[in-house]
Every structure is written in structure tokens, then in C-alpha cells.
Structure 1
Amino acid sequence: MANQQIIPREVYRTMFEHLSTPVAFIGDDGTLLLCNSEYDALPANMQDAVLAVDQSTLSDESQHTVLDSSVCFIKTELGFVVIVRTQESTVPHLDKVLKHLIKEAKTAEDVFAGTAQAISEYIGWKWVAVTQFLGDGEVEVLAFWEGGQPAENFTYNFIASPCELMAKSERFTQYSDVDDAFPHHKLIQDMGAKAYAGLVYHGPDNKPLGHIMTLHDKRDVDYKYTEEVLELACITLSAHMLVNQATHELKAAKLDAATDVLTGVGNRRAFDQEFNRLYEHWTATSGAALLVIIDLNDLKTVNDTWGHEEGDKLIKLCATEFSRLGRANDKCYRLGGDEFALLFGETTPALTDVLKRRFLQATERVSVVMSRPVSASIGFAQLDSSIESQNDWFKLADERMYADKNRYKRASIRSVA
């Protein structure tokens, strides 16, 4: 299933201002959040009547008659887009075009194909292409529709073509005799195109990223709605780019906030969140869960003898090995210094023995890389009905880890003696 994005209000505002049809955005609470100048010019009683429509009766796309005018309500993640059809409205079925484009702008997958499909369906030209500028005149077609059906994508060079002129001007460009105007452009001649219309779409930094072009094999095509629909489609694509960038930055920020800088495993914050989630899940389901606390032995000796660079190397090697102790979805966290934690959900009693064996093998591998003996102390705590709180669960694992460390220290003293 495609990932759903939230389109900022500012994007809707920009989309609406490019339309000559009265369009508004109404929140879930029935308040008018924004509108274009055409909607603002409607009589006050008309605007009040639109706001008075009971939203609980509305579906994803609903048609209502309000004071003898046809009003379309399109459901979005933030409320409803409202389109008032008046005699002066330009694009027929604009509500369907807008709904399709809004849907595609919210969908992380196939936004280019969806945009090409919407334009092909509502303009009716033979060819529709959504492209990306690659540089040096090279253009990649990201979505191509021919005769109302998806066709194979391709690349071409737009030098000495209407696409080049349109890209330079960044304005809507049309030709009713494109084959005569550009007799030497291979793509146009091979397609047998007679009419052309195109417009650039931009990225978050307002840099031209590509363009949408429509072509037809007849000269007598109707340009009446082409510019408005292409403009709306380009704004929608730009909105998609804006939302995609914001989503990517948010994910990156969340990852940074949850990742230990030195080792790349989860940090204390990430551990606390997963620890809370796992405990709450166990409380609700009484499923099995296991907490493991690990503390490296003699890290101070390594730092004092060979330097902190060697100490950091040891910590990173251990983090890598500890993160491989469990299954693919089991996580390792660095709690701070030389202390690590591992959380396991849906465990079995046999898992502890498996982890103990893997743990010893992991420290042996680190010893080989470090060219000196490496060890760590470990404590296991299975979550069961005898544990009354999260603190008790963590405390039990921590106490068992320190008990293991004390055994290591006593053994070290005996070996020296």
C-alpha cells in the first residue's frame, strides 16, 4: 500500500489561486480555513450555506445542491476541498481532476503515472508525458500515456524543440503546428505530432525539475482547458516534491534522534521508547519478553593503556557484534559509556541459552580483531508475572549483570594471585 502524505495548507492555497473556479478548504470542524478570490467573491449567504452542510453526511466525494448551485466536497486528510460550480466555471469536471491530483500528491508511489493518467483522461489528447530534466538537454520520461493507456517510458533530447523553449521561459507553451515549427526534431516527427502544449513543474527550492507535455496527432484540438489543467497538475507535482522532502527530512531527524553517534545502534532514548512499548504490550497480552544488559569489562584499562581511540574501536566492534545476537527485528541499544541493552519480544525459554552461546562467540571475535582478550558481563531478565513494574524488570537484569561482573572480578583477582 502506498504511503500517505499530508499536504500542507499552503500548497492547497497555491493550487486554488491558480483556478478561476470558486474553491475553498473547510476544516473538519466546519470552519473556513482558506479559499481563492473567486470563492471569496461569492455572496455571503452562499458561503454560509456551504459551511452549514452536515459533514457527517459527506463521503470521499459528495455532490450537494446549495442555493441552486452544484457543490462538490472532496475529502482530504485535513478536511474538505469545496468546489462550487457556477456558470463562469471554466474546467468541466474540475472536481474529478482535482480529486485525482490531490490523491496522487498524497501517494508516495506512482505520482507521475497518476498525474499523466488524470491529464490524459480529462484533456483527451493522444499523448501525455511527465518528464524529469537530466541536464545537457537530456529528458527522462517518467510516465507516458498514449491513447488513454500507459505506454513505455523513454529518454530524449529536447534541444531545438518546443520543450527547450518552454523550459527556458518556464511558461505555458503551445503549438498548433508543432511539426512545421520543429521539422528536424526526431521525437515530434516520429510521433507524427501536430499539436503541443507544455508547462514546467518545480522542486522545493523552486528549481525546474521537469515538465508535463501533451501532444496530439490533429491540429484542431481544444486548448480551452489545457493550460489550467496543466498548471494545476504542475502545482500538484511540486506539492508532492515538497511533501516528499519534508517527510524525508523528518524521517532523517527521527533516525538521528534515536541513533547512537559512535556506534550506529539505538541510543538511550530509542531504548526507553521500545522498553516502554514492549512492557505495555506484555501487560496487554501477557506475551514473552526478554531484557539483556551488557557491560564491557576493563574498558578503563584499554583507554588508559592504549588510548581512547582504541577504546572507541572496542565499543564499536562490540556494538556491531551485539546487534547480531538476536533475530533481524531484535534491537541493540547503547545506554551510555560501555553499557548496552538488547530487547527481545516473543521469546522462548531456550532463547537465553542460545544468546549466552552467541555472546561468548561474539566476544571471542572481538578479541581476535583487537589482538587482546575482550570480555563483558551480561544479565538476563525474562518478563513474567513476578515482575511488578518496568523498573523492577530493568533492575533485575542490571543486578544480574553486576553479579556476573563481580564473578569476573573475583576470577581476575585469583588469576593474578
Structure 2
Amino acid sequence: MEISQLFSLCDKLDECIFIFDEDHQVIHQNAAASKIPLPEQRKLIDHIKTVPIHTAQSDELRLENHWIIQPFSLEHNSIFLCKTKQSPGDSASQLREEFLDRLHRGQNPFLAATLSLYHHLGWRWTAVAQLLDSHRINIPVISDKGKTSGPVMYSLEDTPCNLIHQAKQFIFFNDVANAFPNDKMLRDMGVQTYAGLIYKNRQNKAIGHVLAMHDSDDVDVNLCDHLLRTITHELSLYLELDSSQREIFKVRRLALTDHLTRLGNRSAFEHYAHHCLDAARDDQRIRAHLVMIDIDHFKQLNDQLGHDQGDIILQRFSDKLSTIGRIQDRAFRLGGDEFVVIFYDSNNLTEDMIREKIDVILHELQQKDALDLECSFGLASFKESHYNLEKLLKLADQRMYKNKQTRRTKQHS
């Protein structure tokens, strides 16, 4: 493999990747690694330099702070894959579960979001802010190491909160005192690190933001990005519901979960799909896709191995499928061995990319669980269905059937 091809491959991965030459110099780091705060990057690189080049084994894990560092040797270079003890996808799923559970128990959504984020991110301060007007926000509750207080009224002028609403994307600062010298409250609190992301209403208008702050710069920015995207998405969905719908939500939450796989079931899929279709119809800059997937020859496997083993296969496959994309990309089980994934705001999704993602899942299942599975899939965009759910499902189903037939033809040729 040429070095340029190696760089390109690493850039497609969600994990943080550093590539070193024989002189222990960094010759490439992918986009995920570049998002790590500079102090954290320096710690990781300094630690990696203690690992002898070409002597590292691929199954050896080196731990530094909250990072797991896995080295690989390749010709004249060494690759180091860096990840947190728990993957962002796992943490995001657990954050979503805790938030929904708190809502189910009747907790205020702002309190539920604030405490759920604190428990899974671990930064000292977490909060949800409501935008009152272009100059002021209200923070109903703020958590300081899990202890809550509030409300707090706050002016946006010369604050990181103001920049969040201007940028309308994930914002991170790791030197708050110097970046915002006029923000006396944050300076007095001793805030060093700040991150935030807006949440929106059905009209795609920002109505507030979720924020996290820490008194140290030793943080995992990738994890923070994942978790903020998760909680803002879930909060937006919940706030769209009126009071009667929220009561129904609490009562029916378990009815929206597939009891075997713990993915969302068909009802949950239809609710989420309509929400995404409405948002994409209103803002056609959003490019979204649906992928329908089924496990080939599952009925034969179920008959051969027994229903208990068949259930285990579905559970293992679902666990992997739930992390196939980003935070806003969600998997559902429609029934039997049929699944769908909604890839929301996914501009350049192609069939080759989906096949690659599915192949990664199947390889992991084969390696870790000794499950030798094959899958067929069909990809359809929201736009080509004219934002109609029935048409979207039909397109994906037709392409999945065509994919299945094509693969069978190749296998028998």
C-alpha cells in the first residue's frame, strides 16, 4: 500500500490515528486526531514516542490517562490507534438511554439532559440554556459535579455562548480565560474548557444550547462532540411534543423498543422517520438517506441452530448495527431479520460506503463472536422519494432485493 493510500484510509476512520516514521516523527494524523485539544495531543504523542518502533504488537494495549493506545507496525512506519476506554458510540447510547429513562420517570427535560450529560461526559459543569432573545439566555438548571442550582439569567455579550449561536455548530475552547477576558462569571468559576452546541425547534430555528465546562484542559473532545450531538438531538425531539404527547411518551416508551434487540421498533422508526422527513423537506440542504438491511439465509440459520441461537445472532448484529454511523444515524428493527438505518444529514453517502460499513460489522462478528453472516441492503435518499415514507421504504426494499439477487448470481457463477 502506498503511503498516500494509507493516509486516505486513515482519514475515513472515526478513531484517532497517528502515523510515525522510523525517526519517531509524526508524518500524519487523521481528522479525528486533529480534533483532540493540543495539550492532549502532546501528551498522547509524547507517550507514543516511548513505544519502540516496529516492536509493538497489534494485540498490545498501552494506557495513558483515559486513552487506550493500540500500535501496529507497517513497513517503515508505525500506526497508533487511540481511543477512549469506552467508545463514543457506546457512551452516546447510554446517554440517550439515561435521558429517556429520566423523562419516563417524569423529570424535567432540562434537568434530565443536564444530569445525563454530566454522568456520561464527566466534566465539572453541564447545563441547558434557553434563548430568550438575541441578547439573553436563561439557564434553568446547572450541574456542578452533579449538584444542581439555578435558574441563572445571562447576557450573551462577550461570552462563548454567543459564539455558539453565531456558529450554529459544535464549539470548543480550551483557554476560556484568555479567549473571553470579559466573562467575569466563567473566570471566577475557574472554567478552563468550554464546549457547546445549539438545539432547534421544528422550524430548524435555534432555541437554546447545551453546554459543558471543565476546570481542566485534560478532556476528550471527540467524546464531548458525540455526546452533545446526542443530547441536543434528543432534547429537540422531546421539546416538539405537546403536554399530552409527553404523557403518552412516558407511558409508551417501552412499547417503542424492540424487546429482543433493544433497537427502536417499527413504531419508533415511523415516528423518527417522519420527524427527519419533515425537517429535510423544510430545509432541503439536508441530505438524508435510508438503508434497509436483512441477514441472508437467516431462516435457515434459525432452523439449523435453534431459535435461542437465532435470537443471539439478532442481538449481536443489532449491537453492532446501532453504532454503524454517527450519533444522529439511528438503527431500527422492523421485524424478523429486517432492519433499517436512517442516515440523517449525510451528503455523500454511497452504496460502496454502506457495503464497507456492513462488511466491518460482519468482520467483527466473525472475529469476536464466530458468527459467519452475510447481508443484503438497499439505499434510498429522502429527496428521490419526494420526502414520502412509503415511497422511501419501497425504493430501499426494491434495491435490497436487487442487491440480494446480484450477490446470489455472483455466488453461483
TM-score bracket, shorter-length normalisation: 0.3 to 0.5
TM-score normalised by structure 1 residue count: 0.37
- Output the TM-score relative to the length of structure 2: 0.37
| Structure with larger Rg | 1
